[in-house]
Each structure stands twice: as C-alpha cells, then as structure tokens.
Amino acid sequence: MNDNAPAIVISSLDLQRIEELLEQPPHRDSPGSASLRAELARANVLDPAEMPGDVITMNSVATFVDETSGESREISLVYPRDADTAANKISVLAPVGSAMLGLRVGQSIDWKVPG
C-alpha cells in the first residue's frame, strides 16, 4: 500500500459487489485483484445515500488529466464484464481503474503505465 495515497471513499454497495467479484474464480487471482483488495482495505465505507457526489464510484464517468502531457481523457469505471477500452470503459480490475475508485474531484494519483 502506498502511504502517500489519498484517502478514498466507497459505498457499502460497491464494496459488497466488488468483494463478491473478487471471490469468483476468474478474478480471484487476477493480476489486479491484490491491488484492488489493498484499495478496499484502506477505504472509508459509507452507505450509498451518504456518498458525496464528487466521488468516483462504480459506473461513474470521470475526466482525468495526465499532469505530464496535459492530455485529458474521459473514462467510465465498470465491472470487468463491461470493460471496453475502445469505448473508454475501464475495468475496476485494471491498474488505473482500481487506483481511481473512491477518489474525489481534484485528487491525484501516480501509476505506472506499460512502456
């Protein structure tokens, strides 16, 4: 776990669904499951009705900016079955997906990309 990572918030409903997903054989030992479990372990869990409107939750659409290039991109955070990179639908099991879960508008994260 990254000690410099910003605090995250997740709804109890998203937490329950993601934990169920992580128990399924195709995802239990997937490369992204360990980092996602670490994110969930450090999250502040709220009832869905208490979730602030500026938090990235499952099925949220978010715009992020690459601070190095200045390029912005809009993505939807989705479950693996709905992932489609051509449509900018990023799985919560992808490194950037699990890193974005629970962030608030204005927060930033560091992550490594292939290459």
Q: Are 33 and 22 in contact (CB under 8 A)?
A: yes
- Please spell the DSSP secondary structure of 20-49, one letter per residue: HHHHSHHHHT-TTHHHHHHHHHHPEEE-GG
Task: Answer whether residue 1 is part of any domain.
Answer: no
Residues 6+ apart with CB under 8 A from 93: 27, 30, 32, 33, 36, 80
Taking the C-alpha atoms of residue 44 and residue 47, their distance in angstroms, rounded to an integer, is: 10
Q: Domain range spanning residue 19?
A: 9-100
Sequential pLDDT tens for the chain (115 residues): 445 667 789 999 999 999 999 999 888 888 788 888 988 998 999 999 999 999 999 999 998 888 888 889 899 999 999 999 999 999 999 888 888 899 888 887 766 655 4
CB contact set of 105 (below 8 Å; sequence gap of 6+): 54
Q: Which CATH number fits the domain that encloses residue 16?
A: 3.10.50.30
The answer to the question of residue 4 being in a domain is no
User: Does residue 82 lie within any of the structural domains?
Assistant: yes
Domain tally, the chain: 1
